[in-house]
Structure 1
Amino acid sequence: MTLLIRGGTVVNADRAFRADVLCEGGKIVAVGENLEAPAHAEVIDAGGQYVMPGGIDPHTHMQLPFMGTVTADDFYTGTAAGLAGGTTTIIDFVIPDPKQRLMDAFQTWRGWAEKAAADYTFHVAVTWWDDTVHEDMGTLVKRHGVNSFKHFMAYKNAIMADDETLVKSFRRALELGAIPTVHAENGELVYQLQRELLAKGIRGPEAHPLSRPPEVEAEAANRAIAIAGVLGTPVYIVHVSCAESLEAITRARARGQRVYGEALAGHLVIDDSVYRDADPEVARAYVMSPPFRSSHHQTALWQGLQGGNLHTTATDHCTFCAGQKGMGADDFTRIPNGCGGVEERMAVVWDAGVNTGRLTPSEFVRVTSTNAAQIFNIYPRKGSVSVGADADVVVWDPQGTRTLSAATQHSKGDFNVFEGRTVRGIPTHTVAAGKLVYANGDLRAERGAGRYVERPAFTGTI
């Protein structure tokens, strides 16, 4: 298929310029002014709009079995929703059960993902340790293009990695040229605070943020950074939600340590008042970890993005419907953790970032696409509108508006954490692998069209 995007302003992470973009065979084959299109080419008029790299969401959970249930969005519905919002690649998570071989879990997730409508790749979680984990990490890097491994410092008695596991896995990742990623919350502290709140009879969703205060996140972030620093391993902190964690990252980076931070779109614009909603069903819908924070933390996160100490924006897209969230109606610790957002992320970040002057359009591209591609070693194949890159492109109308709502979203979740928010700046067209998959509200996602993306190891002694 040949496709010409004509008359727009190309925005990359380094610069913006007027150019047409010609896509053929799933690749960008020309970028320049006044390009000639073959007679059979499909033409998109991008006049008055931006032409940007397709979004990369580096943190999603599609079809995730968790807390006794499975997320509402599978790899097809979740990636299709992403395409409608301008996201053309996701990095999801393979999460082995305790004592399960990493390779067995990886093959299971690969099977689930075959229905994806957009490109996908995986972080693989290290939830326990023995010699087989050491072996499987090597196999995943060398044969399957996995270059990142996830570590949950939370969820005691389930998937929490203790310090021994962190040290051994971080060291192995360094040997292999892979990067550890970390969910930073002190799982023991969370567990004890949960028990105390329940003993006091505080059982509703308002207890969730009380059991996971900023100090719990900051302690774990500091510990992970310290371990990585001793070993000389780069580290990526997922869903940074509070000023204290950002401070830990900023201090480490000032010392020259290679630490990266990720912010969620939800944490940038939603505060903790949602847990005190008069309707407990609504309050439960916002339960995710780390929780939404008070407003001064949102200010800090924006400063982190502006100052270059937070590098990516993600969603932690993990959708559970009201019936599933209701499993914790009488015990907040049983509410499945997770919220949606893969469709809304880019519009929310543009509206709250670019429209307020916090971010330039090029900085927006950096934090929604390019930085993720560079950190996880798929740049410039992804994250760039340039010759030779994958033809993953979003045409963006900076004046277009949309009101975000569960009633109109493509996700299969029955709640939208951004409900009622009107955003200015929306995608009009999304191109994935050279195919027009979204056009002015018409979603043309194809089941199984997504490709598994291998990510090469960084320099290392494999």
Structure 2
Amino acid sequence: MRKIIKNGVIVTATDMYEADVLIEGEKIAAIGRHFEEAGAEIVDAAGCYIFPGGIDPHTHLDMPFGGTVTKDDFQTGTIAAAFGGTTTIIDFCLTNKGEPLKKAIDTWHQKAKDKAVIDYGFHLMISEINDDVLEQLPNVIEEEGITSFKVFMAYKNVFQADDGTLYRTLVAAKELGALVMVHAENGDVIDYLTKKALEDGNTDPIYHALTRPPEVEGEATGRACQLTALAHSQLYVVHVSCAQAVEQIAKARDKGWNVWGETCPQYLVLDQSYLEKPDFEGAKYVWSPPLREKWHQEVLWNALKNGQLQTLGSDQCSFDFKGQKELGRGDFTKIPNGGPMIEDRVSILFSEGVKKGRITLNQFVDIVSTRSAKLFGLFPKKGTIAVGSDADLVIFDPNIERVISAKTHHMAVDYNAFEGMKVTGEPVSVLVRGEFVVRDKTFVGKPGHGQFIKRNKYGKQTVPKQGSLSI
């Protein structure tokens, strides 16, 4: 059925104007006024913004870690994402050394099959580089449509790759048209510091932060940037949490190196003191990189404003406090790393960013949607409101006030990291490829509606089918 969204204010990364949106099937057919309404479903967006659907470039759903598995899978996780205004996620596909890459990819497809309510893609973890892996990478890009690779510089003896693996991945990515992502922390130094802390009897959650100081993130970020320049390649630094890492990314970009940076909502509004909560409550806030001292927050906000950081990922990786986070009682290194962030990513950036004057509305859209679409081969199919683009749309009321709470969120996890935080602005209705997933703050979607999206190579864009634009 044709749909017409009327009376809203369209906001993209570059424009803001009043117009109606005509949807035919899965696509935006026209943008303008006075469309023929006969036979069309009319959606009134009066008093609301119409944003392109959010793109979360960093999620971990149904992921094994630390002897357990994340609480939210592709069904609960994507439902929560939709309520938060996100219509596409890119999840991380873990690999095992010595196994075919396609086996890992097929495993992740099975995790998402018949569960996702929004669209999704995959990043592929690179744990080793050898002739066999290099032979498989062209097929991963061309046939599987996976055009981004992640290398961990941390989690020694679990995920961590050495510098040679990172460098060879960068070289291969340059040749093949892929974007390399890094978790930038010096895993060797962290390994030493954590062992020393345990030897000294320091086992509480706060020592997770104290053994992963900002210097180890800054050092690893700088090293990754240097290797990227040496390889003449492209780099995306995930979950930037501190001034030291921002400084390295800014230096690299000033030199013209092809380096991009992502931060996360938790680093913008929470700080290291949360890990000191009594009765082991601090375990709720254990993730990597850790929360930093509060002063880092303003550095991150400024970096988003001035373009030194470009995107906001959730790093969704939820574990229940009871039964999962509690695995680390008496040993902070056994606390599963991660938190529940997917649902509140968009609202927090709007409330703390736009409403408080830290960023503009256009910057907000760019950060939560458009820039990720461009970097990860989704634009302009995703990430904008244009004729021919997918009808992934968020009708957003900028004036609704609410209090974030586990009692009202849609994630499966038993706590909310932002519990009690007041925010202004909330998605009211969310469409994915022209179909409502959330309507008037009620879930109306269907597990399995979400499609896997094969993505274009880094720097490549497709031209959407043209229609009419009449403002």
TM range (shorter): over 0.9
User: What is the CA-CA distance between 1:144 and the residue it aligns to?
Assistant: 1.2
TM-score w.r.t. the length of structure 1 is 0.98
User: What is the CA-CA distance between 1:279 and the residue it aligns to?
Assistant: 2.6
Q: Which residue in the other structure is 1:447 paired with?
A: 447
Q: Which residue in the other structure is 1:258 paired with?
A: 258
Q: Which residue in the other structure is 1:391 paired with?
A: 391
Q: Conserved in 1, the CA contact under 8 Å of 2:8 and 2:49? A: yes
Q: Conserved in 2, the CA contact under 8 Å of 1:98 and 1:158? A: no
What is the alpha-carbon distance in structure 1 between the residues aligned to residue 44 and residue 430 of structure 2?
13
* Aligned counterparts, 1:289-300, within 5 A: 289-300=288-299
Deviations 1:6-33 (A, max 9, x none): 0000000001000001111111111112
Q: Conserved in 2, the CA contact under 8 Å of 1:18 and 1:33? A: no
Partner AA of 2:101 in structure 1: L
Q: Which residue in the other structure is 1:417 paired with?
A: 417
TM-score w.r.t. the length of structure 2 is 0.96
What is the alpha-carbon distance in structure 1 between the residues aligned to residue 395 and residue 126 of structure 2?
38
Q: Which residue in the other structure is 2:83 paired with?
A: 84
* Aligned counterparts, 1:6-17, within 5 A: 6-17=6-17
Partner AA of 2:383 in structure 1: G
Deviations 1:255-289 (A, max 9, x none): 11111000101111101110000131x21011000
* Aligned counterparts, 1:238-249, within 5 A: 238-249=238-249
Q: Conserved in 1, the CA contact under 8 Å of 2:375 and 2:458? A: no
SS in 2 for 1:75: coil
What is the alpha-carbon distance in structure 2 between the residues aligned to residue 72 and residue 178 of structure 1?
30
SS in 2 for 1:417: coil
Q: Which residue in the other structure is 1:111 paired with?
A: 110
Q: CA 1:145/1:221 → structure 2, altered by over 3 Å: closer, same or farther?
A: same
User: What is the CA-CA distance between 1:439 and the residue it aligns to?
Assistant: 1.8
Deviations 1:119-173 (A, max 9, x none): 0001101012222211221110111111110010001001111011111111111
Q: Which residue in the other structure is 1:75 paired with?
A: 74
What is the alpha-carbon distance in structure 2 between the residues aligned to residue 216 and residue 50 of structure 1?
41
* Aligned counterparts, 1:221-240, within 5 A: 221-240=221-240
What is the alpha-carbon distance in structure 2 between the residues aligned to residue 351 and residue 428 of structure 1?
15
What is the alpha-carbon distance in structure 1 between the residues aligned to residue 13 and residue 91 of structure 2?
24
Q: Which residue in the other structure is 1:313 paired with?
A: 312
What is the alpha-carbon distance in structure 1 between the residues aligned to residue 132 and residue 286 of structure 2?
35
Q: Conserved in 2, the CA contact under 8 Å of 1:8 and 1:20? A: yes
Partner AA of 2:286 in structure 1: V
What is the alpha-carbon distance in structure 1 between the residues aligned to residue 111 and residue 78 of structure 2?
12
Deviations 1:211-233 (A, max 9, x none): 10000101110010000001100
User: What is the CA-CA distance between 1:2 and the residue it aligns to?
Assistant: 2.1
Deviations 1:387-413 (A, max 9, x none): 101010001111011211111111001
Structure 1 segments of 4+ aligned residues over 6 angstroms from their partners: none
Q: Which residue in the other structure is 1:144 paired with?
A: 144
Q: Which residue in the other structure is 1:200 paired with?
A: 200
SS in 2 for 1:252: helix
Q: Which residue in the other structure is 1:348 paired with?
A: 348
What is the alpha-carbon distance in structure 2 between the residues aligned to residue 278 and residue 38 of structure 1?
61
SS in 1 for 2:436: strand
What is the alpha-carbon distance in structure 2 between the residues aligned to residue 233 and residue 187 of structure 1?
23
User: What is the CA-CA distance between 1:76 and the residue it aligns to?
Assistant: 1.0
Q: Which residue in the other structure is 1:123 paired with?
A: 123
The percentage of aligned residue pairs carrying the same residue is: 43
User: What is the CA-CA distance between 1:67 and the residue it aligns to?
Assistant: 1.0
Partner AA of 2:278 in structure 1: A
Q: Conserved in 2, the CA contact under 8 Å of 1:393 and 1:432? A: yes
What is the alpha-carbon distance in structure 1 between the residues aligned to residue 34 and residue 418 of structure 2?
40
User: What is the CA-CA distance between 1:3 and the residue it aligns to?
Assistant: 1.7
What is the alpha-carbon distance in structure 2 between the residues aligned to residue 321 and residue 100 of structure 1?
30
Q: Conserved in 1, the CA contact under 8 Å of 2:374 and 2:459? A: no
What is the alpha-carbon distance in structure 1 between the residues aligned to residue 79 and residue 316 of structure 2?
13
User: What is the CA-CA distance between 1:458 and the residue it aligns to?
Assistant: 3.4
Partner AA of 1:82 in structure 2: A
What is the alpha-carbon distance in structure 2 between the residues aligned to residue 90 and residue 450 of structure 1?
10
What is the alpha-carbon distance in structure 1 between the residues aligned to residue 265 and residue 8 of structure 2?
26
User: What is the CA-CA distance between 1:66 and the residue it aligns to?
Assistant: 0.9
User: What is the CA-CA distance between 1:4 and the residue it aligns to?
Assistant: 1.4
1:362 pairs with 2:362: yes
Q: Which residue in the other structure is 1:97 paired with?
A: 96
Q: Conserved in 2, the CA contact under 8 Å of 1:236 and 1:260? A: yes
Q: Which residue in the other structure is 2:47 paired with?
A: 48
* Aligned counterparts, 1:427-442, within 5 A: 427-442=427-442
What is the alpha-carbon distance in structure 2 between the residues aligned to residue 38 and residue 154 of structure 1?
58
SS in 2 for 1:58: strand
Q: Which residue in the other structure is 1:277 paired with?
A: 277
In structure 1, stretches of 5+ residues that fail to align are none
User: What is the CA-CA distance between 1:99 and the residue it aligns to?
Assistant: 2.8
1:65 pairs with 2:64: yes
Q: Which residue in the other structure is 1:186 paired with?
A: 186
Deviations 1:88-119 (A, max 9, x none): 00010011123332211011101111121110
Partner AA of 2:188 in structure 1: E
Q: CA 1:358/1:459 → structure 2, altered by over 3 Å: closer, same or farther?
A: closer
What is the alpha-carbon distance in structure 2 between the residues aligned to residue 63 and residue 84 of structure 1?
19
Q: Conserved in 2, the CA contact under 8 Å of 1:52 and 1:396? A: yes
What is the alpha-carbon distance in structure 2 between the residues aligned to residue 407 and residue 340 of structure 1?
14
Partner AA of 2:98 in structure 1: K
Q: Conserved in 2, the CA contact under 8 Å of 1:123 and 1:146? A: yes
What is the alpha-carbon distance in structure 2 between the residues aligned to residue 331 and residue 277 of structure 1?
16
Q: Conserved in 1, the CA contact under 8 Å of 2:54 and 2:369? A: yes
* Aligned counterparts, 1:142-181, within 5 A: 142-181=142-181
User: What is the CA-CA distance between 1:459 and the residue it aligns to?
Assistant: 6.4
Partner AA of 2:140 in structure 1: L
Q: Conserved in 2, the CA contact under 8 Å of 1:406 and 1:415? A: yes
SS in 1 for 2:19: strand
What is the alpha-carbon distance in structure 2 between the residues aligned to residue 221 and residue 149 of structure 1?
16
What is the alpha-carbon distance in structure 1 between the residues aligned to residue 181 and residue 64 of structure 2?
20
SS in 1 for 2:380: coil
Partner AA of 2:136 in structure 1: D
Question: Considering only aligned residues, what root-mean-square deviation do their CA atoms show, in Å?
Answer: 1.1
